Structure 1
Amino acid sequence: MHTIWLTGAEWLAVLRIGLGLWWLESWRHKDKKAWFERGSGIEWAAGVASRHRLPAVRKGFDRVVAPRPRVMAHIVVHAELALGLGLTAGFLTPVALAGGLLLNVLYFVLMIHDWAEQGQNAMMALISAVALFAMSWQTWSADSALGLFA
């Protein structure tokens, strides 16, 4: 079966690059000054975690995130940038896809009550899983050009 314009591997690369651009947009639209100086994203997440129905989420947030809001803000913001750049360029793609899948699952679990963003997280997680298991780094990627993950 022939596809229009591109091969199957090229469509997977388009999917991977689109996911990378999605992560870059997530990074771009954040108010970094508010995140880094006040931990504004972490403040919001604290409110969500405090009302979460799973005690493990509340306890985990209180133990890991709450004591270090600025560090966690940097981790979230820089992780989104790294995922976006890695997936768009196709550099260390399996690592970026696994990291993105993990981050989306964490977002999904944290925001179990906030259905406004659940569709986005579900779609990004699905694209990450498909791109990871279909080895989307084999086409149009720095990994392919460098002979990584052959």
Structure 2
Amino acid sequence: MHALWLSGAEWLAVMRIGLGLWWLESWRHKDKRAWLERGTGISWAADIAERHRWPWVKTGFQRVVQPWPRLMAYLVLGAELALGLGLVLGFLTPIALVAALLLNLVYFLLMIHDWAEQGQNAMMALICLVGFFAMSWQTWSLDRAFGLFL
């Protein structure tokens, strides 16, 4: 059955591709020079973690992220780019969906008491779950073309 002009599987692919475009926009709009040379993204997150209502978030950030700000900046930028490309192209899609869910949960937990993009993180996480359990890689994807994850 077709809903409007696309099938249900095609609408799931549209949702997956839209999520990938969202990640690519998150990567695109960042000032890469500021992130990589001055560590602005990591220092912003450190300020959020420092004021966090849950001490374990602050402690975890100080132990895992702050000792390696340059590496973490590369990791965040690389992850957002890889997730965006993987989801748009439908390549290693189940892995990209799980990784995107985890990254959104990290963002959500870090900023849970702040104004910053909670609706966006929640919706992106929901799309990851729906895309994963509905196997959104079965239509319009390199995974399908290569016979992966069928």
- Please report the TM-score for the alignment, with normalisation by the length of structure 1: 0.98
Which residue in 2 is equivalent to 1:10?
Answer: 10
CA distance in 1, matches of 2:20, 2:81: 9
In the alignment, structure 2 segments of 5+ residues that lack a partner are: none
- 2-side partners of 1:76 and 1:101: how far apart? 14
Q: Residues 1-150 of structure 1 correspond to what in structure 2 (within 5 A)?
A: 2-150=2-150
Q: How far 1:83 sits from its partner (Å)?
A: 0.2
Equivalent position amino acid for 1:45 in 2: A
Shift of 1:55: 1.1
Q: Which runs of 4+ in 1 moved over 3 A?
A: none
Equivalent-residue separation in structure 2 for 1:2 and 1:78 (angstroms): 37
Secondary structure of the equivalent of 2:76?
Answer: helix
Deviation for aligned residue 1:115: 2.5
CA deviations on 1:7-28 (whole Å, 9 max, x unpaired) are: 0000000000000000000000
Amino acid at match of 1:25: E
Unaligned runs of 5+ in 1: none
| TM-score calculated relative to the size of structure 2 | 0.98
Q: How many residues align?
A: 150
**Inter-partner Cα distance in structure 2 for 1:95 and 1:116:** 26
Identity across aligned pairs (percent)? 73
* Superposition deviation, residue 132 in structure 1: 0.6
Q: What is the CA deviation profile of residues 61-95 of structure 1, one whole-angstrom value per residue up to 9, with x for unaligned ones?
A: 00010111000000000100000000000000000
